[in-house]
Amino acid sequence: MAGKAVTKQPKKKKAAKKQQEENEDRWMPFPDYIPDDCILGLEWLHDTDFLKVEKSIKAKDWHFGGDESFYVMNRAGQLIYSVKEKTTCMKKLCTGPAREVHLIFSDNTGFTVMEIWKEANCDGILCLCCINEMEMETRDGTFLTRLRQAFNPVHDQYDLYDENGVRDLSIISKKFYLHRCNTENKLKIVSNAGDDIGYISKYWGPRYELKNADHEVLWMSFPRSLEVRVKAAIIGAAFCMHYIYMEVS
């Protein structure tokens, strides 16, 4: 006996399809113009001078840890990259914000665009053994930046270097200004000539209010004329600052 024909799509499949369509509408369309020498996967950064990051924390992971997810967005709120931190509950419980960090950036197709590595380290600023470093490269191994903390008794400073060891720019803040208890933190982006050319800023709402678990946490402003590699480096620096100074254990 022939089975009854299915005329209605299951509700779960409908909901999944609707969510997929909504996500596709949120992604930034591919730019109309990109330079010939633009690094693969960074085309979306060519014509932008402002980025923001939203951190998504599921309620079930609020106390028990697990992988963390972020979205990098443009000024209009369109998604550019999805970011996932590959970590474990044990690392988060034992070492907290000082843990080893591995971030994977993906585009709207799920293709890995770039990755960040930061070794486990404390945020001490008066001890040379606590100097923080971070490296960032594309999926195919193209070097993007190396961030290194500068030993400076006057202010907190992090320098971004290219593959030849030449400094691109610096991230600077007043000494002891950055603190996890502050509701807002702001760092200056400074050129090699000493000019302020942008900022990295973070703000969050009530810590234990789960309905505010999805919120903008990072803002980045910089000149539109910067090359895409340096813009990607600023994104990496923003995430690095998040883990060193701003994440709450």
pLDDT in tens, 37-51: 899 999 999 999 999
Which pLDDT does position 107 carry in this prediction?
A: 93
Least confident of 47-51, 64-68, 138-142: 64-68
Task: Check: CB of residue 191 under 8 Å from CB of residue 168.
Answer: no
Distance of CA 54 to the CA centre of its chain: 9
Q: What pTM does this model have?
A: 0.80
Within 109-214, strands assigned E span 112-118, 133-138, 143-150, 155-161, 167-174, 184-190, 196-203
Helix (H, G, I), strand (E, B) or coil at 17: helix
